[in-house]
Structure 1
């Protein structure tokens, strides 16, 4: 009797934690994956920048092989320009430490408290305004959130809690549940806002456990994503965004204006259109925060204003993000 060949059992997709662990952390490996190893001597810095490379392999797969100017690669690859003298740039570019009101809690704007939920992130963006932040001393999750929750409970003017970092979705579902179980007992807190890049760079994070946590939340939910280029979106990101919307999340996008990456009207228009196709409304276009190591990304204000005017002339108003700058000590973002 001839027996049929046994088909191999279909393996479950990797969990997001495994994909995180498999992220690329070696600049030479990243260049090899893109066929750019021959240009390593020209591209990579000759000394340690003090800010490690980390990028998920799924995000690398969206980069163009053989193109050292690829807009996704440029966001994550350490460059020699980071070591150049940078007058006017600082370690704490937006006054985070001066805004500390409790351990891991920043209060800059009326009605809102921002929690530095964690220092971990799935991707290290080279322009990150917190690339020098002392996360080891200033993480709200320390002590099971007690000091942060007490500070929020003591201020009845706070109606929105913002989870930032790092990336709050790098926390486990159990840790997120622990925090929100405490927040739900504070009657004046009505909204929870997540500032996260994970649904874009590691969309597998939007899994059944995370969605169950969101389903159980009694608070209004706002998810502010961070994508700077239309190429950051793919089918998996679209699916993650759809799942978040299905759980009642309002999805917004904030981008950073970056020289050589998205500083032209066609690219910014494509980003707004692609984000909206994924159900994400353009929100902010940030002028670069002047943090050490990021000067080579800066775009002049005059050029930035011209770009936004060009967007107004070609897009409906709801697809034109607000051009803003964060200024340390100011009570809101400053429109330009």
Structure 2
């Protein structure tokens, strides 16, 4: 088990949009960058047509070269196993189309809703439960955002808006400022939650302008990072999180329990330790959503519970995330705490 212990030297801050633009989208180039033989991945490369590949350089830098079983590599490299049509897996495992009230809105809960700010991501995770989501029907532009804002204004029971996607931080700072300004003018809103993987993929996304925006809003702000393995956390990411802590953003993390990636209690314990050292509290450990193309990441419920019970014995209770599954149509996540 390889765990990164030495932190890389912080490089000069780069423009996150430039890094995003230069992300690798060709599996062959990713293999070349990681010193992996292309011939060993011929069938896997073909899976690119099912779900495109996208990996920015800062994330590639964390992957061990020459190791086809690296846990970060497995999360982003297309696999021939994505062609498997597994029983019980579907293109819409959470039946979110039924909750897509208006463009960019998923209204699944009583006092909160999801605002799909952007459809794209900085990295395409192979287990993504929205890999088949109709983002073309939910465009991330001001015209569709206004429809979403109108919907929120008409629902005074909504206390919390959850920026989701895609990845909401794919929106530029001035776009986020426009959205947040309109949201904070609605008196019934109290909280803004941002679910994002972008900071751990491109830490440079946490700009001073973005931090100032969150510092100045009246809304209580929570950021939920999506991190699955301790090797994703480095000094550059930690620095970005400290900037958010300095403006009183509450930091939480959710992970997905993934076969071959983090299906080990000791790895999850180290992840919780590194998260907490970075100022992030472990929040959820999700059982895999059964999305078509991701069946090779599935861990049985029995094995998941065994891993979870071992994790509980290894660390303090506040460092143990809630083991949870989202079930389509339910008003909240189902917890498997015992």
Matching residue of 1:274: 274
Residue aligning to 2:200: 200
Paired with 2:44 and 2:334, the residues of 1 have a C-alpha distance of 35
Kept in 2, the 8 Å contact 1:111–1:159? The answer is yes
Hey, what does 1:299 align to over in structure 2?
299
What stretches of structure 1 move > 6 A for 4+ residues in a row? none
Matched residue of 1:114: which SS? strand
Asked whether the equivalents of residues 44 and 78 of structure 1 are also in contact (C-alpha less than 8 Å), the reply is yes
Give the Å deviation of 1:137: 0.6
Cross-structure match for 1:56: 56
Contact 1:162 1:192 in 2 (8 A): yes
Query: Which ranges in structure 1 are unaligned for 5 or more consecutive residues?
Result: 1-10
User: What is aligned with 1:261?
Assistant: 261
Correspondences of 1:1-336 after superposition (within 5 Å): 13-41=13-41, 44-46=44-46, 48-139=48-139, 141-143=141-143, 145-336=145-336
TM-score (norm 2): 0.93
Q: Could you list the runs of 5+ residues in structure 2 that have no partner in the other structure?
A: 1-10
Partner of 1:8: none
Please state how far the C-alpha of 1:47 moved relative to its aligned partner. Answer: 5.0
Report how many aligned residue pairs link the two structures: 326
Separation in 1, partners of 2:267, 2:319: 13
Q: Secondary structure at the match of 2:284?
A: strand
Give, in whole Å, the separation in 2 of the partners of 1:227 and 1:252. 10
Per-residue CA deviations over 1:171-221 (Å, capped at 9, x if unaligned) read 011111111111111101010000001111100000112112112211000
Kept in 1, the 8 Å contact 2:138–2:144? The answer is: no
Distance in 2, matches of 1:320 and 1:330, equals 24
Q: Which has the larger radius of gyration?
A: 1
Name the residue aligned to 1:7.
none
Cα distance per residue 1:289-333 (max 9 Å; x no partner): 000100000000001111111111111000001111111000100
Separation of aligned partners in 2, 1:315 and 1:45: 40
Provide the rounded CA distance (Å) in 1 between the counterparts of 2:108 and 2:144: 23
